[in-house]
């Protein structure tokens, strides 16, 4: 019982640290999530990480929250999922609440404005790093390359509010369809 309670709080503090030390949202969190959950804690493996990101992206909500809920539930069921989710959200909530109190004055400080520009550049690098890690773990098939090229091309050249959602749904449908065809061929 005590060990199980310790695991729940370990989930909370691990995801609190992820939430506290990651700027730029869910995609920027992926390298830190991978380091903490796969390499350090070994709560999930690389394949589960890729599946977790796919599930977190294809369900409503923020990738960090969905990932925390997924891993927390896997490790310690309901309370693990709840504490991991609270842990990843709490740092942002605290920081945003404090910034909101002093927002006008906060952005007027030249050092703060410069810091935000630097953070933006760093976030781009973190997102690219996450993309490269996902690419390394992704299947290297003609269909996968076609989907990647299609998603990249549409993302760069089409300005549509729901494009990301449609690309995720389209990729999900293509993936399910291709797996069904593959299984039918294996059965014959």
Kindly state whether residues 154 and 117 are assigned to the same domain.
no
Distance CA 90, CA 16 (A): 7
What is the average pLDDT score of the chain?
A: 84
Kindly state whether residues 127 and 35 are assigned to the same domain.
yes
Q: Two tokens at 115?
A: 């810091």
Is residue 71 within 8 A of residue 39, CB to CB? The reply is no
β strands within 32-188, DSSP E? none
The burial of 20, by beta-carbon neighbours within 10 Å (0-12 exposed, 13-18 middle, 19 or more buried), is given as middle
Kindly state whether residues 166 and 183 are assigned to the same domain.
yes
Q: What pLDDT score does 11 carry?
A: 93
Q: What pLDDT score does 29 carry?
A: 80
Indicate the DSSP class of residue 160: -
Distance CA 73, CA 38 (A): 16
pTM, to two decimals: 0.59
Kindly state whether residues 68 and 112 are assigned to the same domain.
yes
Distance CA 108, CA 186 (A): 64
Average pLDDT over residues 130-137: 82
Kindly state whether residues 21 and 52 are assigned to the same domain.
yes
Kindly state whether residues 10 and 90 are assigned to the same domain.
yes
Kindly state whether residues 40 and 130 are assigned to the same domain.
yes
Question: Between residues 88 and 29, which one has the greater pLDDT?
Answer: 88
Counted residue by residue, the chain has a size of 188
Kindly state whether residues 101 and 186 are assigned to the same domain.
no
Count structural domains, the chain. 2
Structure-token match 């539930």, residue found: 73
When pLDDT is cut at 50, 70 and 90, the band that residue 25 belongs to is low
Using the predicted structure, report yes or no on whether residue 23 has a pLDDT greater than 80.
no
Domain around 111 = 2-138
When pLDDT is cut at 50, 70 and 90, the band that residue 143 belongs to is confident
Kindly state whether residues 24 and 107 are assigned to the same domain.
yes
Kindly state whether residues 91 and 181 are assigned to the same domain.
no
Kindly state whether residues 48 and 114 are assigned to the same domain.
yes
Q: What pLDDT score does 42 carry?
A: 92
Q: Two tokens at 150?
A: 């299609």
Kindly state whether residues 126 and 154 are assigned to the same domain.
no
Domain boundary pick from 97, 115, 138: 138
């Amino acid at each position: 019982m005590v060990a199980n309670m310790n695991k729940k709080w370990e989930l909370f503090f691990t995801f609190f640290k992820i939430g506290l030390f990651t700027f730029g949202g869910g995609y920027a969190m992926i390298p830190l999530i991978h380091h903490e959950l796969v390499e350090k804690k070994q709560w999930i493996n690389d394949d589960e990480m890729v599946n977790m990101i796919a599930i977190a992206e294809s369900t409503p909500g923020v990738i960090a929250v969905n990932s925390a809920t997924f891993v927390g539930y896997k490790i310690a069921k309901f309370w693990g999922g709840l504490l991991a989710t609270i842990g990843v959200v709490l740092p942002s909530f605290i920081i945003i609440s404090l910034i909101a109190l002093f927002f006008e004055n906060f952005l007027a400080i030249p050092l703060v404005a410069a810091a935000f520009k630097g953070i933006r550049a760093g976030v781009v690098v973190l997102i690219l790093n996450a993309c490269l890690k996902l690419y390394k773990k992704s299947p290297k098939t003609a269909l996968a390359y076609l989907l990647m090229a299609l998603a990249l091309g549409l993302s760069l050249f089409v300005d549509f509010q729901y494009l990301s959602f449609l690309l995720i749904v389209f990729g999900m449908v293509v993936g399910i369809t291709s797996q069904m065809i593959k299984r039918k061929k294996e059965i014959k």
